[in-house]
Amino acid sequence: MPKSMDELRGLPSHRGQQTPRSVYERVRDARRRKNEWQKKRDEKRSFNNDQYIAQEINPT
């Protein structure tokens, strides 16, 4: 039986031990990729939005 509530916190596989370093690295890499993807997406959106506004102002 666990001796305290602290022993029950976290994932069962990680109880009583430190979280593996590779978990942090994977999370960091995934977060970095997500941020880069969001940045590219926002740049595309703003460019397309600018094109649309320019077309509305100056229809050719």
| Residue-wise DSSP of 25-52 | HHHHHHHHHHHHHHHHHHHHHHHHHHHH
pTM of the model: 0.52
Mean pLDDT of 3-24: 67
What confidence score (pLDDT) does residue 46 get?
Answer: 96
Mean pLDDT of 11-30: 74
